[in-house]
Chains A and B, each alone.
Chain A
Amino acid sequence: MALLEIEKISVFYGEMCVLRDVSLQVERGEVICVVGANGAGKSTLINTISGVLKPRSGKIIFNGEEITHLEPYQIVEKGIIQVPEGRRLFLNMTVEENLLLGSYTPRSRKKRKENLEKIFTLLPRLAERRKQIARTMSGGEQQMLAIGRAMMADPQLIMFDEPSLGLAPKVVDHVLELIKNIAAQGVTVLLVEQNVHHALELSTRGYVLENGTVVLSGTAHELLNNPHVKTAYLGL
């Protein structure tokens, strides 16, 4: 049984169709990459899985249970979390407060201490800066904190929305390394990224989204060698 199964969802903004009959499967332990241009519907997809947007038709099944109509907070409790685009930290709060807010749901709150230690080992920088206000940190540090905050939710599936956006190349490498680390811990990853080459390199499989529909899917290796992907996304 797949961890996450999306069956033919269509999502609308008013009368505008942003996703049309999108189906997607994520197996436990995979790193799935969703590739697509600006406006292809990548963020919409992630926000629909999170329950912020509701599909007009189709189903989302997580761990064999339909979650299509659950509220966002219930979906987090089930084990799905996202690292939103642009980080969206609670900027006026400390590093520690941000992390604690990541474990607000009852299930993750029970494992708070344990997860906090894990994150501080993974990201020692955050431990040093516990009492620092998030606003005063650099972009890269903020991205680390956003990822740490999401990991505090003790997720089974973590979704990244453009994690490398607006970061220096060196920092991007660090972020991608961190994602690899998280995957190695057994957390399933769904990655939306414009940095297609890097993203596919650390993925097991990928989907190509164009104008709200899936036009291609396959293993990362297949996609990296696909002529369409090469010309449209890799600039080769």
Chain B
Amino acid sequence: MGLLSAVVNGILMGGIYGLLALGLTLIFGIMKIINFAHGAFLMVAMILSYWLWRIMGLDPYLSIVVIIPLMFVLGYLTQRYLIKPVLDAEKDVREPIGALLLTAGLSVAIENFVLMVFGADYLMAQTSYSGASINLSGLSISVPRLYAFIATLIVTVLFYQFLNKTELGRAMRATGQDRGVALLMGINVPKVYGIAFGIGTAIAGLTGIFLIPFYYAHPTVGEVFITKAFIIVVLGGLGSVPGALVGGLLIGLVESVAAQYMTATWTAILVYFAFLVFLLFRPSGLFGSRYEW
């Protein structure tokens, strides 16, 4: 039963990783930017959600209504006023890395800003359901993880529909495929970039909100998650939506099951090693060659 429990909880946690990776893969797929600040945005949402709960007694899940629009705006403005000038300046550079360095710097800046304002404490919203679990004849399923997993599935499906069925989603995919021609077809590319970065950031925020009832937030909590998200995105195939979900589930599963047999340090080594071996055989990731924007 220990193993089954590990499998189930691994998959649930994997869903959360997948959700975070979804935001990252979206930003990469459309803008071809690797957003190093993605984890920092996750952390900001965790901290905000925590304090809204702590001060106003707002349930973390309800704080979605406030925090998600806020994260979207934060992402949009980040693209508009920080990333866009760098992209414009590097328009004719063959291999631009300015935006990548910028997001890495931004991540450090955000982390230290939060450290300064909120301190380095480990914070978790102890809600009524934080420690709750469902017992299915001995199999124990953590309730907040289950909620997070369900949210991931819903968001992934909605997002996939958005990309494939809506005018804006189609324009986003077109921009990801050929930015220059998207421009020629009358798509306002900078605006599409802003919206993509906004949605990506909002997804990072959503992940944070679903974590805060059972995971401790601190200024550098994003780093734990961003590393995994990078691995997931590459594993699933850069820019692939289903890849993000499947990659997330896989990493969550391996991590959780491996933890049954060895210490956490060894788990990490195993995960990274398996990932490297996988890349040797399939460098484009699981869905990389089949699914493109």
The chain A residues found within 8 Å of chain B, CB to CB, are: 14, 50, 52, 71-73, 76-77, 81-82, 84, 88-93, 97, 100-102, 104-105, 108-109, 149, 153
Contacts and interface: CB of A to CB of B under 8 A. Distances in A.
B188 A90 contact: no
Q: For chain B, which range describes its interface: under 10, 10 to 19, 20 to 34, or 35 or more residues?
A: 20 to 34
Contacts of A52: 180, 183-184
Given A90-B177, A92-B177, A92-B293, A104 B184 contact: no
A82 B174 contact: no
Contacts of A101: 170-171, 174, 182, 185, 187
A71 B188 contact: yes
Contacts of B183: 52, 72-73
Contacts of A104: 167, 171, 185-187
B185 A102 contact: yes
Contacts of B173: 90, 93
A72 to B, nearest CB: 5
Contacts of B181: 84, 88-90
A90 B187 CA distance: 13
Contacts of B174: 90, 93, 101
Contact of B180 (A73, A77, A88, A108): A88
Interface of B: 92, 167, 170-171, 173-174, 177-178, 180-189, 292-293
A50 B184 contact: yes
Do most interface residues of chain B lie in helix, strand or loop, or is the interface mixed? Answer: helix
A104 B293 CA distance: 17
Contacts of A77: 186
Contact of A149 (B167, B185, B187, B188): B185
A129 to B, nearest CB: 18
Given A90-B174, A101-B185, 14 more contacts: A14-B92, A71-B188, A81-B185, A84-B184, A88-B178, A89-B181, A90-B173, A92-B177, A92-B292, A93-B174, A97-B170, A101-B171, A102-B185, A104-B171
Given A97-B170, A101-B171, A104-B171, A72 B177 contact: no
A43 to B, nearest CB: 12
A73 B187 contact: yes
Nearest to B168: A104
A93 B292 CA distance: 9
The 3 closest A-B pairs by CB, nearest first: A76-B186, A105-B186, A88-B181
A82 B170 contact: no
Contact of A73 (B92, B170, B188): B188
B28 to A, nearest CB: 16
B172 to A, nearest CB: 11
A51 to B, nearest CB: 8
A81 B187 CA distance: 12
A90 B178 contact: yes
B209 to A, nearest CB: 33
Residue among A72, A81, A84 facing the most chain B CB atoms (10 A cut-off): A72
B177 A93 contact: yes
B233 to A, nearest CB: 19
Contact of B170 (A72, A81, A100, A108): A100
Contacts of B186: 72-73, 76-77, 81, 104-105, 108, 153
Contacts of A81: 184-186
A88 B181 CA distance: 7
Contacts of B184: 50, 52, 72, 76, 81-82, 84, 88
A219 B173 CA distance: 43
7 contacts: A52-B180, A52-B183, A52-B184, A73-B186, A88-B180, A93-B174, A108-B186
